[in-house]
Structure 1
């Protein structure tokens, strides 16, 4: 059929370029249409199918509230970094529209994908970069978080750019901008998640020494400078607001369940059926098909690296990408006792490169078996994409339902007289407070930012609402306040709010 011929021709041409390698002077030009097409499709698909109706999540509400005039800033707990807040600041300064924020972040994400892969245009053939970008962008995790004010996707971009620039700096003494690009990529990752940047810089430092890279002492200095520059705001804030760096690190570890030795691979596998956070992850593995690619991934990575074994020009970049990707995944798989699929986005971005190389190489032109190989790859990719979209759509639909529920709760609070300046505490306080234009304050837990006595005192001169779920009891200072039923919020049923006299 004509369609089959077109697919065969495209894959054959791509494989041929892999075998020949990128030609000097044409690699950049060849990469442009591949990367532009993938990045544009990524943005358009997300905005058309995922973003509509997607309200701000818990973490997003914290990051956005730091710069949004919609509500007072939520408590900023010890593990968080300010990088995402800096990203959203330009649009939140102009509007409180969530859809405007989604469009802005989605377009920014598309540009980030393009630029992070563009760095690799002199290292790997254009078709490999295009396929890698498509594989990464089509993961339900990437598609779901494309427009969200969350740090992990941006760490992935910083890691991709940093590794690409490192390889270019190690290979080409004349590539003057590559060392600075490497340092900037590491600094950008550190600004988003400081600990991730450390796990990014360490294997690169080892690679610089092992490879006897050109100017390797300079590369080591720049790697360290990138980590320090990106972590500087987090470190300064540790001394200003958390009692010092050691105290902040200890509190961050406590909030994450105390970092230590865990085996969390099974948690991450179960979370791949669309769970945004699996904590604790003692749940059934309901949809094994959604995680099959996770088990196949190491095999595909190994196949891609092996396919490049005879081509030194491609082998080194793929080996380094694999090692750094594994290093970025290791702390989440073995030191954190719970799972969130977004944690592994930086690893997936780097591992997509050897996978793409292997898939394109598998479709290399042969007199026999070419159509069979292309057909198998095409069917496998189509099935993978179908599953990824189904999971992304399911996750987005749950958030849309929560968004509608939160809107009804905020409207109910306003009807009860809970209007700015106001305070919300209790169950789901951060998301409810942000939508109602109130401050969120908790006298206990990870977001502890006020004492019960201070909260009770605030109730004397401003509306204070304490939200209780199910059979829970309000704190002592709120038990005499009238209780009002609230709409259910997802799995939280029996919600009610106790409102102080200042709110009535």
Structure 2
């Protein structure tokens, strides 16, 4: 409980002030009601995050209210997910594991964000704990309902993560029909909205999967281990990731993770807790596979489910090291050496925490700068007559449209939802603008008018807008394109 309270306080102190919604967040939040038109919902996305934010987003557009709600909710979920393991692992191991996971900068940064990854992590941790309890102690009603519900949450948030979570858990419970059925029911219940939407808008789940694969660059053998390591220096998305590795020190803990997890598995086995830790480790590795070996880009948030589960064997290892370091050895010299080992271990963990907070501060500052850019462009559009109801297309139109209270309509790409001719037709009814960043050329479907300077941004340079004439006025020539 204390660990969760401290982590929530850190989020509110470092992430919340000056915070605005990021690109992906605007997509999820816009689906949850309120005054802003819903952004185009592309094939890879799932509705879980939108359902999560409805209680706040439907009532207020305040980012602060949303951040506080999510931070408090994630803190409570952190406590609940680790408590599932309380009958399987000692309290000191769970406290250590919770502290290790919750103080990673991706966990702190995304704790108050309208993003699915942390919720997948906590759901995966809870689901694996319920299954471990069922396997080792028998499957009662709590275990069956808990495991099914936790798997459903993960699938609802990110269907792919749900599949990689369910794979090892279904294998382990293949000879336990009741738990197997509970997991299968949770898998289907969580996937139901995604499947229904696939039939309604994509022609079926297989077609939607194909489109999702296209958007994500396809699944295949792609060694992204180095990309994930580089992204830990503070990149929320590394795509493409052919960049210099300027801060390798931020990934030292990540490189040690496999050895600490292996050491923890050995220590747990000697303590009679090997089966539970082995299940956590195997499930964590399963969740890491697609993001390390099957996609060609990286984001630290993708591995949060794996980190949550691997925090358990790592905590077993660290608790064992601490116990050995402070164990009296019978001679004063050895006692003093043991104390120094405790101090050294504490110093290493403190240095790790300092690095995580430094990266968190840097990532938060960058995020705040980006959202300030979106707000500046949106304000400039308002000053130039682009006010709701309105339509925005072009460079970063999705988040900027949310900030402006407009609908975003792209003519191509991942968020393609309108034809060039359709955009020109929309401009006859509502104020419409086409955005260009960094001095780029005029899109062929934009009106043949001089661009209007909107804002100078840190992230994308100069923003200009090609504004269609006000609805009802004489049309300005615009080439719809092919």
Q: TM-score, normalised by structure 2?
A: 0.94
* 1:384 and 2:343 correspond: no
Aligned equivalent of 1:78:
43
Give the ranges of 4+ consecutive aligned residues of structure 1 lying more than 4 Å apart after TM superposition.
none
Aligned equivalent of 2:185:
225
Give 1:486 shift. 2.1
Give 1:477 shift. 2.9
* 1:315 and 2:274 correspond: yes
Aligned equivalent of 1:26:
none
8 Å CA contact retained: 2:88, 2:133: yes
Work out which of the residue numbers 410, 426, 433 in structure 1 matches 2:378: 410
* 1:236 and 2:196 correspond: yes
RMSD: 1.3
Aligned equivalent of 2:313:
354
Work out which of the residue numbers 437, 448, 453 in structure 2 matches 1:485: 453
Structure possessing the higher relative contact order (Cα contacts under 8 Å, 6 or more residues apart): 1
8 Å CA contact retained: 2:281, 2:313: yes
Work out which of the residue numbers 397, 420, 441 in structure 1 matches 2:388: 420
Aligned partner of residue 79 in structure 1, secondary structure: coil
Aligned equivalent of 1:204:
169
Give 1:494 shift. 2.5
* 1:154 and 2:119 correspond: yes
Distance 1:71 1:93 in 2: 10
After the TM superposition, which of the residue ranges 397-406 and 119-128 deviates more from structure 2? 397-406
* 1:281 and 2:249 correspond: no
Distance 2:465 2:387 in 1: 14
Aligned partner of residue 36 in structure 2, secondary structure: coil
8 Å CA contact retained: 1:363, 1:370: no
Work out which of the residue numbers 295, 299, 310 in structure 2 matches 1:340: 299
Q: For 1:44-59, list aligned pairs within 5 A.
A: 44-59=9-24
* 1:454 and 2:422 correspond: yes
Deviations 1:461-482 (CA, angstroms, capped at 9, x unpaired): 2111100112322222324134
Aligned partner of residue 424 in structure 1, secondary structure: strand
Aligned partner of residue 244 in structure 2, secondary structure: coil
Aligned partner of residue 419 in structure 1, secondary structure: coil
Aligned equivalent of 1:96:
61
Distance 2:63 2:207 in 1: 35
Work out which of the residue numbers 25, 28, 41 in structure 1 matches 2:6: 41
Give 1:404 shift. 2.0
Aligned equivalent of 2:32:
67
Distance 1:425 1:502 in 2: 16
Distance 1:150 1:237 in 2: 20
Work out which of the residue numbers 287, 291, 297 in structure 2 matches 1:328: 287
Give 1:166 shift. 0.4
**Number of positions where the alignment pairs a residue of Structure 1 with one of Structure 2:** 463
Give 1:148 shift. 0.3
Aligned partner of residue 496 in structure 1, secondary structure: strand
Aligned partner of residue 498 in structure 1, secondary structure: strand
Distance 2:459 2:13 in 1: 27
Distance 2:448 2:141 in 1: 69
After the TM superposition, which of the residue ranges 37-46 and 363-372 deviates more from structure 2? 363-372
Structure 2 unaligned regions, length at least 5 = 329-333, 474-482
8 Å CA contact retained: 1:68, 1:96: no
Deviations 1:238-281 (CA, angstroms, capped at 9, x unpaired): 00011111110000000001111110001101111000000000
Give 1:407 shift. 1.8
Aligned equivalent of 1:134:
99
Give 1:496 shift. 0.6
